[in-house]
Amino acid sequence: MIRRPLRPLARVLSARAEGSDPDLIEAEERAARLAQRHREERRKAETRLMLLGAVFILGFTAVGARMTLLSAAVPVEPRGSAGSEPIHAQRADIVDRDGAVLATNIVTASLYAQPRDLIDPANAARQLAGIFPDLDAGDLTRKFTDGRKFLWIKRTISPEQRQRVHDIGEPGLLFGPREVRLYPNGAVAAHILGGAGFGREGVGAAEIVGTAGVERQMDSRLRDPAEVDTPLRLSIDLDAQVALEEVLAKGMADMNARGAVGILMEADTGQIRALASLPDFDPNLRPAPPVSGDPADSPLFNRAAQGRYELGSAFKPLTAALAIERGEVTPHTMIDTKGPMKWGRYTIHDFHDYGDRLSVEDILVHSSNIGAARLAIGSGAAAQKAFLGRVGMLAPVPVELSEAARTTPMLPRNWSDLSTMTIGFGHGIAVTPLHLATAYAALANGGLLVHPSILASDWRPGEADRVISARTSAETREMLRQVVARGTANIADIPGYDVAGKTGTADKPLPQGGYARDKTISTFASFFPADHPEYVLVVSLDEPVTIINKTAFRTAGLTAVPVAAKAIERLAPVLGLRPEYPPADPGRTADGGKSPERAASLYTLAGND
Amino acid sequence: MRTVLYLSAVVLLAVCATWAYRVNYATQDALNRAADLRADIAEEREALGVLKAEWAYLNRPDRLRALVTANAEALGLVDLTPEQFGEVSEVAFPPPPPPEAEGAETGAAPPAGPAPAAAHRRAALATNGAIE
């Protein structure tokens, strides 16, 4: 740049010549210079401002664009932090005590349609009806064309069906993944497992919810993501369960019964090794609950946990144990059994006249109602109620089956002396077979009340759970051994296993009141071996009848006991229980018990029990 | 001097940028691989679940019962009964090895003794029962 002087010589000279002040020229030049500098600075500042503005605009644009992108984008989980394994199943398996699978999940597909995407709805409907026989082509066509946007066609389909639907080549038919519950053993242990169905459903997944049994009771445990990899271990022994179900099914057919219950429980711990209620069902195809008729006739009805029955003489050991525990009698005390016994308007009969007096042991052996009533009234209503409460007869069984928790025993409204006497021989109180098994476990194991449980655990009852003394328990065991050795249950006298137990035959109550004359519940509650019981077995038959010499018998001694005997013979070896023969007994054969004496005793058996 | 400083800063920047760029992509590759492996594991687990279910289904008691009945002649399996429990004393001891074969054939199994036929059969039954 050419520097302009403040006092240009030419102008100063000419100004001097003209006589004006040359300083003015200098001031002029200075002003011009200042103006020039101002102009430059302004331009610079403007540029700077523009630049700053541009930066801000760029910055805001970037932030805005990022926000737009974020709000429009599909959310993605941060991948780096996911260190755990992916969840592969949404519900834990259920296994038996040895780890055999009872319930597991498999992945199948569900089939749904988006009718707007269907190219040829009529053809699709026709082909679908060909693949699924339960679908109707006309109905499907109507649903495809009535303007709806979404339609479930099948909740679960098999891989073969999926391939065939795929082969239709219709873009509007879509599959969603579905996990379904599979019970590989079919109907085995159906009443324990219950079943599972779908809860909330979406296209991508559906939650599995337990509908009954242990599936429902333990639903939150089975669905807990933290425990989904640990199978739920039951106390059930699959081999024993299968054996029990087989024997019961055969017994039910032989005895023409409507239903059958079998409960096998560890006497010391209350762990249920097998529990069967027939008729049963396949939990894979759980039938819909009945909407009419008696729910107890449905195969879904769990007779072991839900069925409340007056179990009859099977209660007598409780009456006797209470009397012995209170020190009122010993097993050899003679009790007046002269009948019929009158109490107010009510008369108590025995089936046969057993004479005027029987020992407490013989009251059980011959199953005398009068004797049991006398024992019960001797103990009194309050003591009886308290004792039954202690052995768990007055509350639902605390077993982990959803049905059991809803089943409260039916008790007399007014626990009068008459109720006390009838309850003494098992009438006027209705409990489930599980209640009876629990009480028998306490009678047998030395007097400790167990928590009946379907889940495998190491729990054992302690002294705090004592309901009767060890001595009373031992005496009760010996008396019940005599019932099998020489009383109403002698068919169950299996060599080697020292079975002890008590029969019970109760007339079924009619819906309109009163009792049926030809419909009974026959029960045999037992434990074995008698002197150190390992297992309690309760077998109960609903309306059994067996024909011997053209005469129909319904008593437990001829119906429930033979079935229970078969069950023990079959179950004990499966459970690894070794038969123990008395050293002097040479008769180590299967028909050791079938003496001529037994045939002769049939008539006696058919009597009271 | 200042120029050298600027230049080295620019070079450092370029190096850092390249390093960050590479690490970024390496991380993404690793993440993708981990995701793939997880998917594979999930698939394998699912397959394992199906196999387990199938194993349980093939071993269901009524099928085994049917198979045992169908192959009763070949297998001879029967239900476990109390009679099948034997005593150790019922099993005959093998006879002492013949004195002339001492030391020479220690690896050879001792020949089966003349066990009572009944005990032998019971032992066989017990084995069968245990398998069933």
pLDDT for A451 equals 92
State the residue range of the domain holding A146.
Answer: 94-233
Residue A267 domain-assigned? yes
**CATH number, domain at A173?**
3.90.1310.10
Joined tokens for residue A20:
């004006």
Q: Is residue A183 part of a domain?
A: yes
Closest CA to A239 of A580, A537, A576, A579: A576
Nearest CA in chain B to A246: B62
User: Which candidate, A335, A325, A259, places its Cα nearest to that of A297?
Assistant: A259
Q: Nearest CA of chain A to the CA of B19: how many Å?
A: 20
| Chain A contact present for B67, CB below 8 A | no
Contacts with B118 from chain A: Cβ below 8 Å: none
Q: Which pLDDT score is estimated for A489?
A: 87
pLDDT band at residue A122 under the 50/70/90 scheme: confident
Q: Please tell me the total count of domains within chain A.
A: 2
CB nearest B79 (choices: A80, A101, A570): A570
Report the chain B residue with the minimal C-alpha distance to residue A90. Answer: B46
pLDDT for the residue numbered A7: 84
User: 């007056």: which residue's tokens?
Assistant: A310
User: DSSP assignment, residue A115?
Assistant: G
Give the pLDDT score at A587.
47
Assess whether A228 and A244 both reside in one domain.
no
- Residue A397: predicted pLDDT: 92
Q: Does residue A295 fall inside a structural domain?
A: no
**Mean pLDDT (whole number) for A537-545:** 93
The answer to whether residue A445 is domain-embedded is yes
Statement: residue A23 has pLDDT above 60: yes
Answer whether residue A67 is part of any domain.
no
pLDDT at A601: 42
What whole-number distance in Å separates Cα of residue A384 and Cα of residue A392?
12
Q: Are residues A260 and A196 in the same domain?
A: no
Residue B27 structure tokens: 């991380």
What is the distance between the alpha carbons of residues A606 and A158, in angstroms, rounded to a whole number? 54
- pLDDT for residue A287: 85
Domain ranges in chain B? 14-59, 61-95+113-132
Which of 213-252 (A) contact B at CB < 8 A? Answer: 238, 242-243
* Confidence class for position A61, pLDDT limits 50, 70, 90: very high
pLDDT confidence of residue B113: 43
Cα–Cα distance measured from residue A190 to residue A301, given in angstroms and rounded to the nearest whole number: 11
Residue A428 included in any domain: yes
Nearest to B85 among A82, A242, A579 (CB): A579
Share the mean pLDDT of chain A. 86
| Same domain (yes/no): A253, A396 | yes
Cβ–Cβ contact B10 with A under 8 A: no
Enumerate residues 6+ apart whose C-beta is below 8 A from A201: A155, A207
Cβ <8 Å between B82 and A573: yes
With a cut of 90, say whether residue A433 has pLDDT above it.
Answer: yes
Considering the domain boundaries, does residue A61 fall inside one? Answer: no
Percent of chain A with pLDDT over 70: 93
| pLDDT score, position B117 | 46
Quick check: B60 and A184 CB within 8 A? yes
Give mean pLDDT, residues A108-118: 87
Q: From A108, which residue of chain B is nearest by alpha-carbon distance?
A: B50
What average pLDDT does this structure show over A83-105? Answer: 79
CA distance A181 to A210: 10
Q: Which residues of A touch B79 (CB under 8 A)?
A: 243, 570
pLDDT class of A320 with cuts at 50, 70, 90? very high
User: For A382-393, what is each residue's pLDDT tens digit?
Assistant: 999 999 999 999
Q: What is the pLDDT of residue A523?
A: 93
Using the predicted structure, report yes or no on whether residue A590 has a pLDDT greater than 80.
no
Residue ranges, chain B, pLDDT below 50: 103-132
In one-letter notation, the amino acid at residue A488 is T
Whether residue A545 is predicted with pLDDT greater than 80 in this model: the reply is: yes
The angle formed by the CA atoms of residues A507, A510 and A514, to the nearest 5 degrees, is 75
Q: Do B49 and A188 touch (CB under 8 A)?
A: no
Contacts of A243 in chain B (CB under 8 A): 79
The pLDDT tens digits of the residues spanning A452-505 come to 999 999 999 988 899 999 999 999 999 999 999 988 888 988 888 889 999 999
Q: Which DSSP symbol is given to B16?
A: H
Q: How many angstroms separate the Cα of A415 from the Cα of each of A124, A148, A318, A382, B57?
A: 69, 63, 17, 8, 52
Contact between A109 and A162 (Cβ < 8 Å): yes
Q: Which of A491, A482, A503, A511 is nearest to A601 (CA)?
A: A491
Nearest to A461 by CA among A265, A238, A264, A233: A265
**What would the two tokens of residue A317 be?**
């050991």
Asked whether residue A467 falls in the same domain as residue A347, the answer is yes
Q: What is the pLDDT of residues A271-296, one digit of tens each?
A: 999 999 989 999 988 888 888 777 77
Chain A hits for B46, CB-CB cut-off 8 Å, are 88, 107
What is the separation, in whole angstroms, between the first and last Cα of chain B? 93
Contacts of B85 in chain A (CB under 8 A): 573, 578-579
Residues A196 and A266 in one domain: no
Query: What is the mean pLDDT of the segment spanning A582-606?
Result: 45
Q: What is the DSSP string of A444-494?
A: HTTSBPP--BSB-------GGGB-S-HHHHHHHHHHHHHHHHHSTTGGG--
CATH classification of the domain holding A347: 3.40.710.10
For A155-190, write each residue's pLDDT tens digit. 888 888 889 999 988 888 888 888 888 899 988 999
Angle at A549 between CA A546 and CA A551, to 5 degrees: 55
CA distance A553 to chain B (A): 29
In a domain, A317, yes or no: yes
> Is residue A79's pLDDT more than 70?
no
Same domain? For A245 and A225 the reply is no
Q: What's the Cα-to-Cα distance from A139 to each of A145, A147, A154, A482, A513, rounded to whole Å?
A: 10, 14, 14, 69, 49
CA distance A490 to chain B (A): 18
DSSP A381-450: HHHHHHHHHHTTTTS----S-HHHHT-PPB--SS--HHHHHHHHTT-S-BB-HHHHHHHHHHHHTTSBPP
Lowest mean pLDDT among A75-89, A300-314, A443-457, B70-84: A75-89
- B 83-112: CB under 8 A from A: 83-85
pLDDT digits (tens, 9 = 90+) for A193-214: 988 888 887 777 778 888 888 9
CA contacts within 13 A on the Cβ side of A407? 26
Segment A34-52 mean pLDDT: 96
Percentage of residues in chain A having pLDDT higher than 90 = 41
The per-residue pLDDT for A269 is 93
